Amino acid sequence: DTEVTQTPKHLVMGMTNKKSLKCEQHMGHRAMYWYKQKAKKPPELMFVYSYEKLSINESVPSRFSPECPNSSLLNLHLHALQPEDSALYLCASSPLMTGNNEQFFGPGTRLTVL
Amino acid sequence: GQQVMQIPQYQHVQEGEDFTTYCNSSTTLSNIQWYKQRPGGHPVFLIQLVKSGEVKKQKRLTFQFGEAKKNSSLHITATQTTDVGTYFCAGPTSGTYKYIFGTGTRLKVLA
């Protein structure tokens, strides 16, 4: 299984809502990533987990809260988002965080904040 | 901070024509990766280059890493409609394992 899955595919939420994005991989990868991608822009790194521990937080606002319950799962909890947070949220995984590792991306969750 | 720029931003070609995108980093890179993102899709890994001056080929795609390890290029020979998408280079920021994606080149192939 060389796939990263993400749910839901689409999400519309109000600014007062709380929602969660889910990402799963069964490739045995020990590094997992959250990226944010606005239209016609490159992916921007948000968080990196290595061996289920948060290793990198790219100064992301606290309304985004990542969680790695186990080595296969990665969640992104959303609360009190702003309309400018509307974007494609991509999850990725790689064998390790260190070294030269290709990243496997999931299909993304397209988030709209009203 | 470190920047990774790509040119051109957009390229429209007739099917069968060649295409090249250039990637330039403000700092030396330990390696560089290339990804392709189809319209409405997600980035898909194409290749990784590590050595100075390295050239790698994948069928009609040729990838090159500059001698100074600050630039790279992707050349597609005889484009096909299946080549449509945005091509991103990505390199690690200095002293870290965080990859910064280049600005991307969007390729459109006209049949």
CB-CB neighbours of A48 under 10 Å: 24
CB-CB neighbours of B2 under 10 Å: 14
Please write the tens of the pLDDT for every residue from B53-73. Answer: 999 999 999 999 999 999 999
pLDDT of residue B98: 87
| DSSP code, position A85 | G
Nearest chain A residue (CA) to B99: A45
Contact in structure between B99 and A45 (CB atoms under 8 Å): yes
Residues of chain B whose C-beta is under 8 A from some C-beta in A?
30-31, 33, 41-45, 48, 50, 88, 96-104, 106
**CA–CA dist A7, B42 (Å, integer):** 14
Contact B43 A43 (CB under 8 A): yes
Contact A90 B88 (CB under 8 A): no
Structure token digits, residue A4: 């990263």
pLDDT of residue B67: 94
- Residue B45 pairs in a beta bridge with B35
**CA–CA dist A20, A65 (Å, integer):** 9
**CA–CA dist B34, B72 (Å, integer):** 9
**CA–CA dist B82, B76 (Å, integer):** 12
Contact B99 A108 (CB under 8 A): no
pLDDT of residue B95: 77
**CA–CA dist A81, A99 (Å, integer):** 34
**CA–CA dist A51, A43 (Å, integer):** 23
Contact in structure between B91 and B46 (CB atoms under 8 Å): no
Return the ∠ at Cα B43 (arms to B24 and A80), rounded to 5°. 105
**CA–CA dist A43, B87 (Å, integer):** 12
The Cα of A102 is separated from the nearest Cα of chain B by a number of Å equal to 7
pLDDT of residue B1: 77
Mean pLDDT by 10 residues, chain A (114 residues): 92 94 96 97 96 94 96 96 97 87 95 96
User: From first to last of its 111 residues, what are the pLDDT tens digits of chain B?
Assistant: 778 999 999 999 999 999 999 999 999 999 999 999 999 999 999 999 999 999 999 999 999 999 999 999 999 999 999 999 999 999 988 778 889 999 999 999 999
